[in-house]
């Protein structure tokens, strides 16, 4: 009960007190899984972004060649499947790492419905991204096919939604941890991330509309996009990387808060 009292004195949520008192022997294993899950998310987010972008750009991940090359030309569906697996394996592995992190976090305070609901939304969006990875590869082969273009657009907006869902997960996690500094930092960074991610979504949607439905976009916006030219790509990169860096910072701070307060109480 000393551990329980320590968490009460440091501000652990009152609504979780009864659960902690009844399940104290299971508290440390669930916290260890939470640390493992936060570490998986920390490393998985940049890897997933890099792998998905490279898959959509058609950069070579393949160790044995490509479908249509002399190696696979006469192998039909076998060659097609080998090429698909090689092209999609890195992105799939990175997204599976994110799924592993979310499933580990779900073991912590599993009776909290709001917390589990936030994890479920992130898990659903992660599953959508997993399902759309092959379409990103096929878009790199046929970039003018409307179906693959729409699939890639859905993947982009699912990724934006996933980032927002991860920030929501971190907000709920910080509310359950006895660290006021972490709670205030998470609220601040999540608000900044929401603004940047929302702006990124608006710009991407405007760019897509300007290319597919020019009449739907005001002339002044089309002129601005054309003036940006190549610098617009850097704007998209910055709007994607800054929220990613802030989210990784929050993941690391949450992990360190758990480790320092529970597994290294003397530090």
Domain ranges of the chain: 27-60+90-263
Which residues have a Cβ under 8 Å from the Cβ of 172 and sit 6 or more positions away? 112, 114, 115, 118
pLDDT band per the 50, 70, 90 thresholds, residue 37 = very high
Exposure letters 124-153 (e unless 16+ CB within 10 A, then b): ebbebbbebbbbbbbbbeeeeeeebbebbb
For the stretch 86-137, pLDDT in tens is: 888 899 999 999 999 999 999 888 888 899 999 999 999 999 999 999 999 8
Reply yes or no on whether the pLDDT at 226 is more than 80: no
- Alpha-carbon span 184 to 181, nearest angstrom: 5
Query: Is 90 exceeded by the pLDDT of residue 21?
Result: no
Residue with the larger pLDDT of the pair 228 and 80 = 80
Q: Tell me which residue of 81, 161, 100 sits closest to 129, measured CA to CA.
A: 161
CA distance to 9, 21, 43, 117, per residue, from 252 (Å)? 24, 28, 10, 22
């Amino acid at each position: 009960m000393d551990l329980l009292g320590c968490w009460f004195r440091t501000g652990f949520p009152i609504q979780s007190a009864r659960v902690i008192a009844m399940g104290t022997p299971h508290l440390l294993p669930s916290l260890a899984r939470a640390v493992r899950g936060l570490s998986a998310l920390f490393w998985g987010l940049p890897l997933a972004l890099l792998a998905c972008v490279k898959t959509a750009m058609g950069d070579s991940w393949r160790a044995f060649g490509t479908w249509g090359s002399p190696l696979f030309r006469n192998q039909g569906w076998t060659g097609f499947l080998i090429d698909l697996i090689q092209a999609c394996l890195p992105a799939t592995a990175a997204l599976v790492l994110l799924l592993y992190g979310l499933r580990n976090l779900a073991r912590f305070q599993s009776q909290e419905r709001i917390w589990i609901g936030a994890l479920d939304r992130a898990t659903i969006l992660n599953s959508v991204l997993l399902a759309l990875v092959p379409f990103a590869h096929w878009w790199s082969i046929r970039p003018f096919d409307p179906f693959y273009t729409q699939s890639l657009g859905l993947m982009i907006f699912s990724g934006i939604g996933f980032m927002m869902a991860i920030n929501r997960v971190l907000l709920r996690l910080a509310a359950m941890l006895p660290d006021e500094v972490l709670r205030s930092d998470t609220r601040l960074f999540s608000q900044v991330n929401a603004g940047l991610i929302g702006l990124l979504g608006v710009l991407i949607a405007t760019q897509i509309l300007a290319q597919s439905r020019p009449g739907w976009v005001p002339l002044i916006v089309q002129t601005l996009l054309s003036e940006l030219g190549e610098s617009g790509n850097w704007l998209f990169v910055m709007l994607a990387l800054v929220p990613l860096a802030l989210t990784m910072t929050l993941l690391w701070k949450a992990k360190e808060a758990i480790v320092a307060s529970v597994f290294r109480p003397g530090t």
